[in-house]
Chain A
Amino acid sequence: MTSLLGYLGGEDGRNILSGLVNTCVLWVVGTLLGTVLGFLTAVARRYGPRPIDWLLKACVEVIRGTPFLVQAYLLYFGGPYLCLELGGASACLTLDPFEAGILGLTIYAGAYFSELFRAGFDAIPRGHIEAATTVGLDRWQTLRRIILPEMTMLVLPAMVNMSILLLKETAVLSIISVKELKFQVDIIGNRDYAFVEAFTILALVYWALVELCGRAGRYAEARLSRYRFAHS
C-alpha cells in the first residue's frame, strides 16, 4: 500500500490528477453540450419540416449504429482529410486529441439525448398540453412552463444513465491519445510493468465515480418525485 501511495506524490501524482481532471472535463462538457445538441435535435425533428426530420433521423441512426471508437478514429484521423475549399483557401478539420474527444462525445451524446427527449415529448399526455391551451398559454409558454418541466421529470432517470454511459466512454478516448485518466495511469502501468495493478485501480476509480453519479441521480429523482403524475 505504501508503494501505491508513493505514486500519488511527485510527477506521477500530478499526471494522474490531471488525467482525472481531464476525464471529468470531458464527461461534464460532453454531457452538457450533448444535452443541448440533443434537445435542439429533438425540437427540430418534432417542429421542423419533414426533410429536416428525415435528415436528422438518419444522422442519429448512423451515430447510434456505429461504435464510439470508430467515430473517434474517423474524427481524429479522418478529420484532417475533411477539407472545405472556399475560393483559393481551404480549411480542414484538423483537431488535437482533446478537441476530437469533446466533439466526438458531444455528437455521440447528442444523438442518444435527442432520442430521450423525443420519448419525453411523446410521454407527456396530450391532455396536459390541451389544458395549457384552454387556460390561454401560448406555444412558447406551454413549452417552457408545461412541456419542459414535465419532460425533465420523465427523462431524468434515463439522462443519469446516459451520463454514466458517457463517463465510461471517455476511457475509449485514451486510444486516440487524449490525456485523460486511463491514458495517464496506463503510462505508469506500462513503465513499471504493473498492468493488473494499474487497471484494477482504474476500475475502482471509475466504479466509485459511477456509483457517486448514480446516487446523486437517485437523490435528484427523489427530490423531484412529488411532481410526478398524479395517477402514477
Chain B
Amino acid sequence: MSWELFWLLVEASGLTIVYSAVSIFFGFLLAAAICGADLSGRAAVARPARLFVSFFRGTPLLIQLLLIYYLLPKIGLNVPSEVAAVIGLSFSTASYQAEILRGGFQSVPRGVVEAADMCGLSARATFRRIRLPIAVRLTLPALTSEAIMILKSSSLISVVGVVELTTMAKDLASSTYQPLPIFASAGFIYLVINLVVAGLGLWAERSARRGHA
C-alpha cells in the first residue's frame, strides 16, 4: 500500500473528526436540556425527555441514521446527507450524555448542597457554584468515553453516503483490491485519534482531580 493511499485516509479522517466534534457539541447542548427536563420534576417535560433517551439508547444507531435520512425529506426538509448524519449522531450522543449528566448530578453528595444552604447560597448560586462544577468533574471520564464512542460510531454515516474515513477506506479497498492494509490503516487512524481523545480526557481529569475529596 502506497503512502498516497494512506494520506487519502488521513485526509478523510479530518472529516470524521469534524462530524464527530460537531455532533458531540450539539449533543451536549441537547443533553443538558434533556437532563434539565428530566430532573425538573415536571412530568409534562420529563416524560418526553425520558422517552427520547429510551428510544435513542434502545435502537441501533445505523437504523436511526437511515430513518432520519429518509424521514427528513418526507416532512419537507431537504437537507444534505451530511446534515442528516450529524443530526442522527447528535441525537444519539445526546441520549447517552443526558444519562451521564443525570448520573453526575445525582451523585453530588447531599451534604455539600446542605452546606451551601446553611451558608445562605441561593438555589441558583448553589447550582452554578457547587452542583454544576462537582457534577462536571464526576462525569468527565464518562463523557470522554462517550466522545470516543461517537468517533467510532461516526463510521456508520458512510451508509447514508457521507464521505469520511470509513467511506474512503471502503472505496479505496474495492478500487485497489488491497482491503487488508487499507482497513488496517483506517483502524490504526481511528485508534490514534481515540488515544489522543483519551489522553485529553485524562489531562482534563487530572487538572480537575486536585479539587476532589
Whether A and B touch (Cβ < 8 Å) is answered with yes
Between-chain CB contacts (< 8 Å), 20 pairs: A61-B191, A65-B195, A66-B187, A66-B190, A66-B191, A67-B154, A68-B152, A70-B169, A70-B183, A71-B187, A78-B179, A78-B183, A175-B62, A175-B159, A182-B60, A196-B70, A206-B63, A207-B54, A207-B55, A207-B58
Does B71 interact with chain A (Cβ within 8 Å)?
yes
Q: How far is the CA of A203 from the CA of B195 in the complex (A)?
A: 32
Query: For residue A73, which residues in chain B have a CB less than 8 angstroms away from its CB?
Result: 166, 169-170, 173, 179, 183
Pick the contact of A195 from B60, B70, B170, B178 — CB < 8 Å?
B70
Query: For residue B194, which residues in chain A have a CB less than 8 angstroms away from its CB?
Result: 65-66
Pick the contact of A202 from B63, B148, B156, B184 — CB < 8 Å?
B63
Q: A196 to chain B: closest CB distance in Å?
A: 5
Does A62 interact with chain B (Cβ within 8 Å)?
yes
Does A199 interact with chain B (Cβ within 8 Å)?
yes
Does A74 interact with chain B (Cβ within 8 Å)?
yes
Which of A70, A200, A211 gathers most chain B CB within 10 Å?
A: A70
- Given A69-B166, A78-B184, A171 and B63 touching (CB < 8 A)? yes
Does B180 interact with chain A (Cβ within 8 Å)?
yes
Q: Is the CB of B191 within 8 A of A62?
A: yes
Query: For residue B59, which residues in chain A have a CB less than 8 angstroms away from its CB?
Result: 168, 202-203, 206-207, 210
Size bin of chain A's contact surface:
20 to 34
Pick the contact of B152 from A61, A67, A202, A211 — CB < 8 Å?
A67
Q: Is the CB of B187 within 8 A of A70?
A: yes
Q: How far is the CA of A81 from the CA of B176 in the complex (A)?
A: 13
Query: For residue A168, which residues in chain B have a CB less than 8 angstroms away from its CB?
Result: 59-61
Query: For residue B166, which residues in chain A have a CB less than 8 angstroms away from its CB?
Result: 67, 69-70, 73
Q: How far is the CA of A67 from the CA of B183 in the complex (A)?
A: 11
Does B22 interact with chain A (Cβ within 8 Å)?
no
Query: For residue A211, which residues in chain B have a CB less than 8 angstroms away from its CB?
Result: 54, 58
**How would you classify the secondary structure of chain A's contact residues: helix, strand, loop or mixed?**
helix
Query: For residue A202, which residues in chain B have a CB less than 8 angstroms away from its CB?
Result: 59, 63
Does B134 interact with chain A (Cβ within 8 Å)?
no
Pick the contact of B58 from A61, A82, A196, A206 — CB < 8 Å?
A206
Q: Is the CB of B71 within 8 A of A196?
A: yes
Q: Is the CB of A74 within 8 A of B184?
A: yes
Q: How far is the CA of A195 from the CA of B159 in the complex (A)?
A: 14
Q: How far is the CA of A70 from the CA of B187 in the complex (A)?
A: 7
Q: Is the CB of A199 within 8 A of B63?
A: yes
Q: Is the CB of B62 within 8 A of A171?
A: yes
Q: Is the CB of B66 within 8 A of A199?
A: yes
Query: For residue B55, which residues in chain A have a CB less than 8 angstroms away from its CB?
Result: 203, 207
Q: How far is the CA of A211 from the CA of B57 in the complex (A)?
A: 10
Q: How far is the CA of A157 from the CA of B4 in the complex (A)?
A: 46
Does B43 interact with chain A (Cβ within 8 Å)?
no
Query: For residue B71, which residues in chain A have a CB less than 8 angstroms away from its CB?
Result: 196, 199
Q: A166 to chain B: closest CB distance in Å?
A: 11
Does B153 interact with chain A (Cβ within 8 Å)?
yes
Q: Tell me the nearest residue of chain B to A200, going by C-beta.
A: B67
Does B155 interact with chain A (Cβ within 8 Å)?
yes
Q: A178 to chain B: closest CB distance in Å?
A: 12
Within 8 A of B (CB), among A181-232: 182, 195-196, 199-200, 202-203, 206-207, 210-211
